[in-house]
């Protein structure tokens, strides 16, 4: 195992690391730090959150700072306010024995005047920023890049997912040949490759295998349910886990807000965290969650970046992420500091294979979780009530007269009847609990699947249930960075149909085509009216193959 001394860092930085009990470099740090200290170069680091990326780029940047020059020499871009603050805090800790280095952080959602004053008072050697706020400061001519040596893009894939492409391109346009770009990302998507091709020159690339980073204290469970039963099953688990304190992950901002609103309507306090919230709303949500005034946070992967909350008991995947690294990052929010935690996936049959691939590659044990019965929910609720009763401190306001009156009442109706009435009063809190047993969707084995595919070919335009299918069009395509699985889940969720009612999904750049079982087709399209996606009107219509042929001829 190499040490930080062997990586070539200065004594002051090593002393700061030692004070923070950071003694051994992580894999990404061992790979990146010597390279960045040894030569001027562009660099790509592929690694997930939690692998030590901040120190990997932060330590070399600090070591290369010439503090005698009162100018900004390093700029770090991060997708969210929380992550930017976290990076700045880490850099200040790393340079605690280099008091001459000034680190400043700027972000949206806070008064820009105060940030301008701070920058003008002491020009920072390192500026950590969110893209939107940095672009604003550049336009106001508060920040200058004349002496910047290095630009860092941290969580580059998330910045692009959040819609910061224009800001990133505008900022990197300042990065001439003499400036270095260090790009860190969990994935190497096409948009990332476009940045590399446009702005970077012969970058060195390092990739860290995320499969070593799964927490052994996490119990990975799953249940396969119909798409239309997902929320009801989630509510059943909430009822059965009275001590649950966790984050529920959804795929989109719309799904997040919709689920939070629906849970609150059903009597389950929950708050949504997504990119459409302003900073005051975001802070209010997090303050409520951290103080446990709400025990459920419904979030997107992007919105949850940079947020650390202690003692989470559960992470619940209401929709599986497409990237394995995001599954690891989500799950890693529970079971911290040696504690146990659960990662529970509530999913459709079509998602099961993806989760099993993650389990195999990440080498964790995966167990199916039975959906709690109504009787199990009642039992757990009563047990939690009994524990709370046992831990209740007897009030000093109780007087002998009050106790005597109550004991007389107990004698009058009998102890057993008294207990029954008190327990019934407690169980009435579960009055919304549905007496419903959930049926799992059919899972096809390989032979059945092959047989089904052959039958479908022979029967022509028929869908998975063997019924005639009618062709539809939707203006969602590959340009929306959506997979067939995501599109299927969305169509089922909004259209109120099962996965087997939809077949033959064909995705093109700007749109997609699919078939809906004839018996479901009539009521399908109207459910998508007045909806928007990414700011544009969503259109789901019957598709006429003859029109398509005419278009191709033209």
DSSP-derived secondary structure for 517-546: EHHHHTTTGGGGTT-EETTEE--EEE--HH
Question: What distances in angstroms separate CA 451 from CA 39, 146, 297, 447, 506, one per listed residue?
Answer: 59, 66, 43, 6, 21
Contacts for 257 with CB less than 8 Å, ≥ 6 apart: 272, 274, 276, 298
Query: Phi and psi at residue 547, in whole multiples of 5°?
Result: -65, -40
Domain edge (last residue) among 373, 390, 416:
373
**Cα–Cα distance for residue pair 413/480, rounded to 1 Å:** 66
Task: Indicate whether 117 and 175 sit together in one domain.
Answer: yes
Query: Phi and psi at residue 312, in whole multiples of 5°?
Result: -65, 130
Domain edge (last residue) among 176, 208, 240:
208
What pTM, to 2 d.p., does this model score? 0.55
| Tens digits of residue pLDDT in 63-84 | 999 999 999 999 999 988 888 9
**Cα–Cα distance for residue pair 348/331, rounded to 1 Å:** 19
**Three-class HEC string of 390-441:** HCCCCCCCCCHHHHHHHHHHHHHHCHHHHHHHHHHHHHHHHCCCCCCCCCCC
Task: Indicate whether 407 and 482 sit together in one domain.
Answer: no
Is there a contact between 325 and 208 (Cβ–Cβ < 8 Å)? no
Question: Can you read off the two tokens belonging to residue 302?
Answer: 């992007």
For residue 380, count CB atoms less than 10 angstroms from its CB and return exposed for 0-12, middle for 13-18, buried for 19 or more. middle
- Write down the pLDDT at residue 448: 38
Helix (H, G, I), strand (E, B) or coil at 4: helix
**Cα–Cα distance for residue pair 487/421, rounded to 1 Å:** 50
Q: Is beta strand 218-224 parallel, antiparallel or unpaired with respect to 204-207?
A: unpaired
Task: Indicate whether 359 and 414 sit together in one domain.
Answer: no
- Write down the pLDDT at residue 547: 45
Domain CATH for 495:
3.30.70.330
Compute how many other C-beta atoms are within 10 angstroms of the C-beta atom of residue 381: 18
* 227 within some domain: yes
Residue closest to 545 by CA, chosen among 537, 553, 536: 553
The residue whose two tokens read 């990237």 is 323
Task: Indicate whether 23 and 123 sit together in one domain.
Answer: yes
Rounded to 10°, the helix 81-94/53-63 angle is 50
* 439 within some domain: no
Task: Indicate whether 256 and 313 sit together in one domain.
Answer: yes
* 440 within some domain: no
Question: Can you read off the two tokens belonging to residue 153?
Answer: 């893009």
Give me the DSSP letters along 90-135.
HHHHHTTT-TT--EEEE-TTS-HHHHHHHHHHS--SEEEE-HHHHH
Residue closest to 215 by CA, chosen among 362, 56, 25: 362
* 435 within some domain: no
- Write down the pLDDT at residue 452: 39
* 330 within some domain: yes
**Cα–Cα distance for residue pair 57/404, rounded to 1 Å:** 71
Q: Which residues of the chain have pLDDT under 70?
A: 1, 49-50, 176-177, 209-213, 305-307, 431-437, 439-468, 534-535, 544-554
Per 3-state DSSP, what percentage of the chain is helix, strand, and coil (rounded to 5)?
45, 15, 40
Task: Indicate whether 331 and 386 sit together in one domain.
Answer: no
The DSSP letter of residue 70 is: -
Domain CATH for 48:
3.40.50.300
CA torsion 344-285-278-87 (nearest 10°) is: -70
**Cα–Cα distance for residue pair 356/362, rounded to 1 Å:** 10
Residue 237's domain comprises 214-373
Task: Indicate whether 174 and 295 sit together in one domain.
Answer: no
Contacts for 476 with CB less than 8 Å, ≥ 6 apart: 482, 487, 490, 511, 512, 533, 538
Task: Indicate whether 193 and 255 sit together in one domain.
Answer: no
Task: Indicate whether 398 and 412 sit together in one domain.
Answer: yes
| Tens digits of residue pLDDT in 135-149 | 999 999 999 999 999
Domain edge (last residue) among 175, 208, 241:
208
Counting the structural domains of the chain, the total is 4
Task: Indicate whether 310 and 453 sit together in one domain.
Answer: no
Buried b (16+ CB within 10 A) or exposed e, 304-322: bbbbebeebbbbbbbbbbb
Residue closest to 249 by CA, chosen among 314, 163, 153: 314
The residue whose two tokens read 């952080």 is 105
Task: Indicate whether 426 and 468 sit together in one domain.
Answer: no
- Write down the pLDDT at residue 10: 93
Residue closest to 42 by CA, chosen among 164, 178, 145: 178
**Cα–Cα distance for residue pair 147/168, rounded to 1 Å:** 19
Q: Is beta strand 502-507 parallel, antiparallel or unpaired with respect to 512-517?
A: antiparallel
Question: Can you read off the two tokens belonging to residue 258?
Answer: 């919709």
Task: Indicate whether 238 and 171 sit together in one domain.
Answer: no
The DSSP letter of residue 305 is: T
- Write down the pLDDT at residue 412: 93
Compute how many other C-beta atoms are within 10 angstroms of the C-beta atom of residue 197: 8
Half-sphere exposure of 454 (CA within 13 A, CB side): 6
* 196 within some domain: yes
**Cα–Cα distance for residue pair 135/187, rounded to 1 Å:** 25
* 63 within some domain: yes
**Cα–Cα distance for residue pair 217/326, rounded to 1 Å:** 18
493 membership: H or E segment, kind and range: helix 484-495
Residue closest to 13 by CA, chosen among 110, 102, 129, 99: 99
Helix (H, G, I), strand (E, B) or coil at 548: helix
180 membership: H or E segment, kind and range: strand 180-185
* 441 within some domain: no
Is there a contact between 3 and 30 (Cβ–Cβ < 8 Å)? no
């Amino acid at each position: 195992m190499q040490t930080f001394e062997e990586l070539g860092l200065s004594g002051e930085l090593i002393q700061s690391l030692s004070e923070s009990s950071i003694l051994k470099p992580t894999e990404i740090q061992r790979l990146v730090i010597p390279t960045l200290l040894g030569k001027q170069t562009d660099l790509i680091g592929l690694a997930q959150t939690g692998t030590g990326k901040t120190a990997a780029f932060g330590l070399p940047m600090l070591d290369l700072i010439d503090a005698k020059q009162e100018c900004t020499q390093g700029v770090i871009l991060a997708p969210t306010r929380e992550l930017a603050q976290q990076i700045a805090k880490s850099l200040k800790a790393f340079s605690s024995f280099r008091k001459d280095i000034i680190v400043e952080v700027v972000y949206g959602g806070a008064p820009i005047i105060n940030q301008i004053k701070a920058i003008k008072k002491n020009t920072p050697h390192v500026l950590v920023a969110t893209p939107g706020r940095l672009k604003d400061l550049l336009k106001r001519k508060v920040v200058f890049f004349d002496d910047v040596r290095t630009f860092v893009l941290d969580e580059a894939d998330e910045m692009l997912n959040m819609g910061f492409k224009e800001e990133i391109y505008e900022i990197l346009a300042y990065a001439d040949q003499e400036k270095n770009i260090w790009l860190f990302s969990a994935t190497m998507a096409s948009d990332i490759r476009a940045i590399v091709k446009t702005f970077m020159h012969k970058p060195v690339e390092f990739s860290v295998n995320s499969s070593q980073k799964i927490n052994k204290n996490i119990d990975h469970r799953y249940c396969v349910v119909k798409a239309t039963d997902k929320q009801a099953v989630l509510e059943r688990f909430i009822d059965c886990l009275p001590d649950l304190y966790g984050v529920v992950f959804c795929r989109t901002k719309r799904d997040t807000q919709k689920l939070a609103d629906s849970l609150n309507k059903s009597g389950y306090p929950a708050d949504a965290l997504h990119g459409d919230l302003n900073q005051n709303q975001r802070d209010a949500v997090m303050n409520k969650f951290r103080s446990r005034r709400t025990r459920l946070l419904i979030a997107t992967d992007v919105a949850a970046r940079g947020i650390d909350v202690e003692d989470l008991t559960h992470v619940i995947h209401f929709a599986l992420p497409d990237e394995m690294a995001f599954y690891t990052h989500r799950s890693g929010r529970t079971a911290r500091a040696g504690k146990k935690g659960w990662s529970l996936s509530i999913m459709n049959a079509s998602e099961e294979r993806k989760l099993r691939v993650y389990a195999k590659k990440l080498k964790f044990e995966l167990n199916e979780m039975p959906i709690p019965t109504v009787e199990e929910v009642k039992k757990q609720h009563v047990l939690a009530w009994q524990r709370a009763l046992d831990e209740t401190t007897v009030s000093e306001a109780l007087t002998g007269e009050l106790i005597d009156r109550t004991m007389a009442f107990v004698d009058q109706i009998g102890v057993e009847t008294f207990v029954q009435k008190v327990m019934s009063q407690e169980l009435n809190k579960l009055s919304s609990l549905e007496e419903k047993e959930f049926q799992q969707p059919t899972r096809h084995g390989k032979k059945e699947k092959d047989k089904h595919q052959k039958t479908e070919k022979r029967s022509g335009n028929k869908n998975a249930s063997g019924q005639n299918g009618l062709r539809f069009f939707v203006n969602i395509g590959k340009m929306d960075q959506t997979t067939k699985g995501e599109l299927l889940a969305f169509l089922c969720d909004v259209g109120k149909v099962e996965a087997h009612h939809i077949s033959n999904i064909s995705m093109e750049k700007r749109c997609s085509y699919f078939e809906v079982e004839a018996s479901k087709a009539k009521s399908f399209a109207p459910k998508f009216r007045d909806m928007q996606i990414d700011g544009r009107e969503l259109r789901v219509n019957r598709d006429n193959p003859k029109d398509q042929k005419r278009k191709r001829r033209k």
